[in-house]
Amino acid sequence: MAWTALIGAGLHAWLRLRIDELNDTQRWAMGAGRIQREQLRWLLERAASTEFGNANGFASIARLEGPDFLRAYREAVPISDIEAYRPMLARMREGAEPDVLWPGVVKNWAQTSGTTAGDKFIPVSDEMLRHNRKAGFDIFAHYALRGGSLPGLFGGKLLFLGGSTELETNEHGINTGDLSGVVTPMIKWPISAAHLPGREIALMSDWPAKIDAMARACLNADVRFISGMPSWSMVLFDRMLEMAQEQGMNATCVRDLWPNLQLFVHGGVKYAPFESRVRGFWSGAPTGDDIPDRLEVYPASEGFIAVQDQAGDPGLRLNMDHRIFYEFVPLEEIDSPDARAFTCDEVERGQRYVVVMSTCAGLYRYNIGDVVEFDTIPPDGPPRLRIVGRHRHFINAFGENIIVEHIENAVVDAARTVEAIIGEFTAAPVYPEGERGAGLELAVEWTPRDSQQLTVFRDAFDQSIKAQNVDYTTKRTSGLGMTLPTITPLPPGALHRWMQSKGKLGGQHKAPRCANHRDIIDGVIAVAGAEG
């Protein structure tokens, strides 16, 4: 046994209590509300002496019991987005002011390129770093619970496909950069003993050059674990196989290069549209074997929200004891000043909720913009949810009420119908002009073999959205409100090249699936046309 495998065995022993704790699903199901209220009370007590805590009576609220506790908190703190916090966050980050939203000086900040509110700077306190560390170890605990071998995993290398780890430091010693850069220093022994791609490559911010360097570093490595977004993982796979051919290696798929790969941890986007391509890279055929085990996670700059604890179950289990308090607001009420908010033990199946978080970094009742649905609700089990879209990412130009999940499911259904392997995609409304009627356009990285295949894809895409969305069905009836969708094929990599033109290329950035305007889709098509 390799000495790194001994580290895996030691990690499993160290996680034994946590593994047993997570395995007691009855505790998490029956105690979900209590556990979450404990998190909120801790947050209020911790931040009571801050400027925000004093102004909103955190100390007195924390002493309340029963229904009065949550009621008082909600009356004191309205649901807000980044705009409400920008002035206070700027004071904390640019001037290193202490005790504004969170005790002391918050020295680390994650910069994100928001698609709805421009660049955002999210505080990452020391407590939040500990939260992320706990969530990271919980991934290994859940993997062990699913029967995975930590000694086997650590018998080789663990590849983390993140963004740039380079941080900018201002005159006050405040660090700002990609979340990967903030959390990478947390990767210490024993994880660091098996970590790839190494500090020098991790620091690179030029993403194409970074992929190239990462491919070289990993080509002959015994990689057992990979963590990253599916789209960027496939970019790496493609470059590795190109390098293998250049070097005359007998490798036709990633399994030939990494025969001991056990686990693929992915998150941030729906996996189904990528599944056939990942299978193709892994085993050489879109219908071939999949990577032995996959585990989906739900990370955000504001906090690590959930993790897939059951193989094959798309529901992600809420991280309830990680110093974050969650509320869930019905999507149709989120813009109302009287919006109702529910804790994780009060939610219902089939209802779409916007995620609102109070965090151990000083954000309170903060709308992160994600829309989720619950598959499992207490007392049936620990709360498990799925991301179905973004609050501001939808298409409703003509009353069709299309969300991201509808687009993603329809693309998967259409690709399956014509047996196509597709890449990235984005959708937008088509506005009526002249003889052209209102409709929907999907730009997708795919080369149809002929016009007939394109027509079948279009019709299957249309039918799938109809099956999911009664409003779209109504608008499409007799083609009076909306015409058939327009499918615009794109060359491979078009979305990533558009993202690069916007300075949003890298492991933490996601291609937008849809928008209620044409800025994105027109930009993508223009980039593809300029190249063609």
Residue ranges, the chain, pLDDT below 50: 1, 115-117
Pairing of strands 157-160, 195-196: parallel
Are 260 and 268 spatial neighbours (Cβ–Cβ below 8 Å)?
Answer: no
Q: Residue type at 335?
A: D
In angstroms, the CA 384 to CA 249 distance is 44
The pLDDT of residue 113 is: 61
Are 282 and 240 spatial neighbours (Cβ–Cβ below 8 Å)?
Answer: no
In angstroms, the CA 236 to CA 212 distance is 8
In angstroms, the CA 76 to CA 143 distance is 40
In angstroms, the CA 527 to CA 5 distance is 47
The pLDDT of residue 116 is: 45
In angstroms, the CA 443 to CA 430 distance is 12
What does pTM read for this prediction? Answer: 0.82
Q: What is the DSSP string of 512-524?
A: --B-SSSHHHHHH
Dihedral-angle region of residue 140 (phi above 0 means left; psi in -120 to 50 means alpha; beta otherwise) = alpha
Q: What does the DSSP 8-state code read for residue 289? A: P
Give CA torsion, residues 356, 358, 362, 366, to 10 deg.
Answer: 10
Query: pLDDT tens digit string along 486-523?
Result: 999 999 989 988 988 877 665 556 778 888 889 899 99
In angstroms, the CA 222 to CA 412 distance is 32
Q: At what angle do helices 16-23 and 126-145 cross, to 10 degrees?
A: 70
Topology (CATH) of 1-391: Rossmann fold (3.40.50)
Q: At what angle do helices 230-246 and 275-283 cross, to 10 degrees?
A: 30
In angstroms, the CA 161 to CA 280 distance is 20
Specify the CATH number of the domain 394-531: 3.30.300.30
Are 224 and 4 spatial neighbours (Cβ–Cβ below 8 Å)?
Answer: no
The pLDDT of residue 163 is: 67
In angstroms, the CA 98 to CA 105 distance is 4
The beta strand positions in 254-352, using DSSP E, are 263-267, 293-300, 303-307, 316-318, 324-330
In the chain, what are the domain boundaries? 1-391, 394-531
Tokens 């690590």, located at residue: 304
The pair of three-digit structure tokens given for residue 28, joined into one six-digit string = 């998490």
Pairing of strands 425-430, 402-403: unpaired
Are 105 and 301 spatial neighbours (Cβ–Cβ below 8 Å)?
Answer: no
Tokens 């699913």, located at residue: 146
